[in-house]
Amino acid sequence: MNTVLLIREVNGQRTIISEYDMDTADKVALPADAELIQQATIDRLYATSGLTEPQLLAMLGLVDAREPQ
């Protein structure tokens, strides 16, 4: 699965808004201020850093606003 995270600035904070599976998602028009980061990159950092997920996201300056799955 080729999952990317959609990141936008919300109230001055870089925030993970949603995720998309790029292998199956329809074309999506992204807002001009959107950033994308591959979930695999976050997973690799998490696996090698020894940090908890909240610590890793804080280190990257991110807040996760996705709905729990």
Q: Which two tokens stand for residue 53?
A: 């997920």
Report how far residue 14's alpha carbon sits from residue 30's, in angstroms, rounded to the nearest whole number. 15
Query: pLDDT (tens digit, 9 = 90+) per residue, 22-59?
Result: 888 777 788 889 999 999 999 999 999 999 888 999 99
Query: pLDDT (tens digit, 9 = 90+) per residue, 31-41?
Result: 889 999 999 99
CB neighbour class for 16 (10 Å; exposed up to 12, middle 13-18, buried from 19): buried
Report how far residue 52's alpha carbon sits from residue 49's, in angstroms, rounded to the nearest whole number. 9
**Model pTM score:** 0.81
